[in-house]
A and B are shown apart, each in its own frame.
Chain A
C-alpha cells in the first residue's frame, strides 16, 4: 500500500466564540483530487489555512509522505510542496504578473533574470492553458485573469499539493472545465489537489474523493463515484435543500434604468464597454452573464458613479445620471452590492452597527443637525441583524471578525434596507453557503416583487436562470443578446458568452 502524500489527524482550531475545526482528519494520496464540501462556517477554509501555514492548529498533527511536519508559515508549506490559492488573492496590485510569481522565492538571484522568468512563465502558460501576459500589472487584470496568475505562481514553484479555495467562484463554465483539465493533467503527473467548494456538481465532476464538513466536524468520507449530489447536499446541510425558488408573476412598472449606447474604458485605457444599450423596468430583475473580464466590472462602476463613461447616456428614473458622483447616484435611490466586499463593502475595523449605518447616517433619524444618535444607530443595527440573521457576537463587534457569509449579509442588509428603487448587485451570493445563498436569492425576488428594479451580475448560470426575469450576456464589452430567462439554457448562454450573437444561436 502506498503512503498517503498527506495526512491530517485530529486537527482542532478554535477562534473566539467558535470551534472552527474539531478533530478533523484528512487523507490524500498522490494523483488524487479531494473535494472539501460544506456550508460557510463549516471549517473548510480554516482547515486548509492550517495546512497552508496561514494558521496554526490548536491540536492535531500533519504528516507529509508519512513524516510528521510542523507548518509554521506559508513558506514552510511551500517548501513541503503545498500551495494554496485563496478566495481573496494574495497578489501585489502594483507589481507585474512576473514579479508576483517570483516574489518570495527562496533561491532567487540578487538580480533576477526577468527574460528567463518571463520565458518560463509563458512556457507554463501554454502547457496548462493559463493565458496571461507576464508584463501586465495585477490591478489591470480581471478577477478571472488574476486567478490564473495565482495558479501559475504555484505551478512555477513546483507545488505537489494544490489547495484551491472556491476556485470556480470567478470562472465561467468553460473556464471551470479548463481548470478541471488542468487538475486532471496535474494528477497524471502524480500531483494532488484539494478543492474547497459548495457546488455539488463540481464535486462530482472534479474529484475522486469527497469529505463533508459540518459545523467544524468531519461528517463523512465518500468516494465520489459512489455518491450523488442529493446525498451530499443532505449530508452537508443536515436538511433537505430546495434549489427551486418560488417566483410570483407580477406587473412591471416604468423604466427604472436605461442605458443608451454607453461606452467606457478600463484602467488600461482600452475599451471595456462598447455601445451598450438596455432597459430595466421597476419590478424586473435583469441578469448579466459573461466570462469575468468582459466588461462586467466597468458596467457596475459606471452605474454606481465609480467610473466615467466615454460615450452614451445613463438615465435613472428618467433623469440623466451619466457620470454623476456616487453620492448623487445613491441619492437617486440606487443601492449597490459590490463585487469586492473587503475593498468596497465594509470597513473592517468599525463595528457591525456602524457598517450597517453607513448608508443612512446622513439623514434623520440617525443624524440630527450633524450629530449622530448612537442609540438609534444601535436600534437600526439590531433590527437589521435580526431581519437578516446576521451572526455576530454583538452589534459592536468589529466587522473584520465576521465570517465571509455574515459580512455579505451585513452589506446586503444595509443596501436592501436603504434601497429606493434600483439595486445593482454584483455577485451577491458568491462564496456563501447554501442557506445564505438561498436567503440572498429570496431577498432579490422579494425586492423585485416590491417594485425594485435589479441588475444582477452573476457567474452562476443557475442563479441567473432561477432568479432573473431576463438575461443579458456580455462579451468583449458588447451585449450579445437579451433573452427571457425561461428561454435560456446553458447551451445558448454558453455560446453567447463565447461571442455568438443571440440571433445566430440556433433555436
Chain B
C-alpha cells in the first residue's frame, strides 16, 4: 500500500468547496496553539477578533474602510494575473494614484470650479496608476523584461517619490514637523457613507460586478482568457497579444490607482506617511484566494480586512505583543494558501494486488 500525491484529473467541485473550509479549520487550530503559547485564551481571542471586526457599527465600518482598498487593488491584481502577468506593483500603482490625486487637489483647485476638483482628481489618479502599470507592461511586451522585477521595483520608486514630496516640496508649512501635505479643502473630500467608510466602497462593488461581466461575457474577456491560457493558440487565432496585455494592465493600474485616490481623499485627506499599509501586496493574497474571480475577491477582501481590524483590536485589548496582529494574520492566511494546492492535487492510497502462484 502506498500513498501518492498526484494531480487531479477533473475539476472536483467537492474539493473547491471543502478545501478552503478544511484549510480554515487548520488555520484556527494553529493560531490557537500560538495563542496558547502566549497564554492568551484562544476562544476569547477569536471571539474578540470577531467582535473587533464586526461586533459594533463603528468596528464594522472600520473593517469596510480597510476592505475598500483591498477590494480595488485586489481587482487590479487579478485582472493582470488572469493573463499570467505577475503584477506585484499594485502598491506603487496605488501610491502613484494618491500622488496624482494630491497633485490635482493641491495645485489645480484655484483654477477649477469646486465641484470639478474631486472627479478630476479621481480621473487623473486612475490615469497615473494606469501609467505606472503601463511601463512594466510595455517593457514585457516589447523587450520581454520580466514583470515581477519591474513592477516590484517601481513600487519603491513610487513610495520614495511620495516621501520626497510630502517631506519636501509639498510639505505643510503649518504641519508642526509632522510629515505630510496640507490638508485638502473639504469640498475635495471623498464623501463618507458610514463611519469612515467612503464612496470608494461603492466604486469597488460596482467595479467588481462590471469586471466579472467583462471578463466572462464579453469578446475582450474571452480574448484575455485565451491569452492567459495559451498564448500560442491566441496568436494563431489572430488575437493581438501585446495590445491586449497593455490594455489589461492599464486597467489593472487604474484600479489600484483608484484605491490610492480614495485613501488620500477619503481617509487621510492629505498625502502623508502611512498612505498604504501594504494593501498592494495583500491584494495578491486576495486575488489568489479568490481564485481570480472578481466577485469572490470582494468577499475575500472583506474577510482579510476583518483579520486586520480584529487583529489590531485584540492586540490592544489583550495586551499581546505589538506584532501579534500581523502574526495572527499570517497564521490564518498561510494554511489557506497552502491548502489551495489541494484543489489541483490530491493524496491517493494505492492498494497493490498480491498475486498468488496459482492465478499466475
Which A residues fall within an 8 A CB radius of B? 9-10, 15-16, 56, 58-61, 70, 72, 304-306, 325-331, 336, 338, 340, 343-350, 354, 357-359, 361-362, 367, 370-372, 374, 398, 401
Contact = CB atoms under 8 A, between A and B. Distances in A.
Contacts of A329: 238
Contact of B233 (A9, A10, A60, A358): A358
Interface in B228-283: 229-230, 232-240
Contact of A358 (B220, B226, B355): B226
Interface residues of B, number: 30
B355 A10 contact: yes
B9 A401 contact: yes
B235 A306 contact: yes
A362 B236 CA distance: 15
B350 interface: yes
B217 interface: yes
**Chain B binding site: helix, strand, loop or mixed by DSSP?**
mixed
A347 B226 contact: yes
A330 B238 contact: yes
Contacts of A370: 218-220
Given A343-B230, A398-B11, A326 B219 contact: no
Q: Across chains A and B, which 7 residue pairs bring their CB atoms closest together, nearest first?
A: A327-B238, A347-B229, A326-B238, A347-B230, A343-B232, A344-B236, A344-B232
Interface string B320-360: 00000000000000000000000000000011110100000
B222 A361 contact: yes
Contact of A348 (B230, B239, B355): B230
Contact of B229 (A349, A357, A362, A374): A349
B220 A16 contact: no
A354 B225 contact: yes
Contacts of B230: 343-344, 346-348
A372 B218 contact: yes
A350 B229 contact: yes
A285 B53 CA distance: 71
Contacts of A59: 351-353
B355 A61 contact: yes
A10 B222 contact: no
Contacts of B218: 370-372
Contacts of A350: 225-226, 229
Contacts of B353: 10, 59-61
Interface in B1-46: 2, 4, 6, 9-11
Contacts, number: 93
Given A72-B2, A345-B233, 20 more contacts: A16-B9, A16-B10, A58-B350, A59-B352, A61-B352, A326-B236, A327-B240, A336-B236, A338-B236, A340-B232, A347-B229, A350-B225, A358-B226, A361-B219, A361-B222, A362-B219, A367-B219, A370-B219, A372-B217, A374-B217
A72 B2 CA distance: 10
24 contacts: A15-B9, A16-B9, A56-B6, A59-B351, A59-B353, A72-B4, A305-B238, A326-B238, A336-B236, A343-B230, A343-B232, A343-B233, A344-B235, A347-B225, A347-B234, A348-B229, A350-B226, A357-B222, A361-B222, A370-B219, A371-B217, A371-B218, A372-B218, A374-B217
Contacts of A304: 236
A323 to B, nearest CB: 15
Nearest to B213: A371
Contacts of A343: 230, 232-233
Contacts of A306: 235-236
Interface of B: 2, 4, 6, 9-11, 217-222, 225-226, 229-230, 232-240, 350-353, 355
Contacts of B234: 347
A361 B237 CA distance: 11
Contacts of A327: 238-240
Contacts of A56: 2, 4, 6, 350
A304 B237 CA distance: 9
A372 B219 CA distance: 6
B217 A330 contact: no
A123 to B, nearest CB: 36
Nearest to A414: B237
B260 to A, nearest CB: 29
Contacts of B10: 16, 401
A262 to B, nearest CB: 20
A186 to B, nearest CB: 31
A171 to B, nearest CB: 24
A401 B7 CA distance: 12
Contacts of A330: 237-238
B232 to A, nearest CB: 4
Nearest to A363: B219
A329 B240 CA distance: 13
A406 to B, nearest CB: 15
Nearest to B239: A327
B342 to A, nearest CB: 17
Contacts of B4: 56, 72
A325 B240 CA distance: 9
Nearest to B225: A350
A351 B130 CA distance: 32
Contacts of B229: 347-350
A70 B235 CA distance: 43
A338 B234 CA distance: 12
A398 B10 CA distance: 9
Nearest to B10: A16
A16 B6 CA distance: 14
Contacts of B221: 372
Contacts of B233: 343-347, 358
A280 to B, nearest CB: 21
A9 B235 contact: no
B232 A325 contact: no
A60 B354 CA distance: 9
Nearest to B350: A56
A372 B240 CA distance: 19
A83 B4 CA distance: 22
A92 to B, nearest CB: 17
A376 to B, nearest CB: 12
A413 to B, nearest CB: 14
A73 to B, nearest CB: 10
A99 B168 CA distance: 54
A273 B218 CA distance: 40
A398 B225 CA distance: 13
B214 to A, nearest CB: 9
Contacts of A326: 235-238
Contacts of A348: 229-230
Contacts of B235: 306, 326, 344
Nearest to A70: B2
Contacts of B220: 370
Nearest to A331: B238
Contacts of A349: 229
A198 B6 CA distance: 30
A474 to B, nearest CB: 22
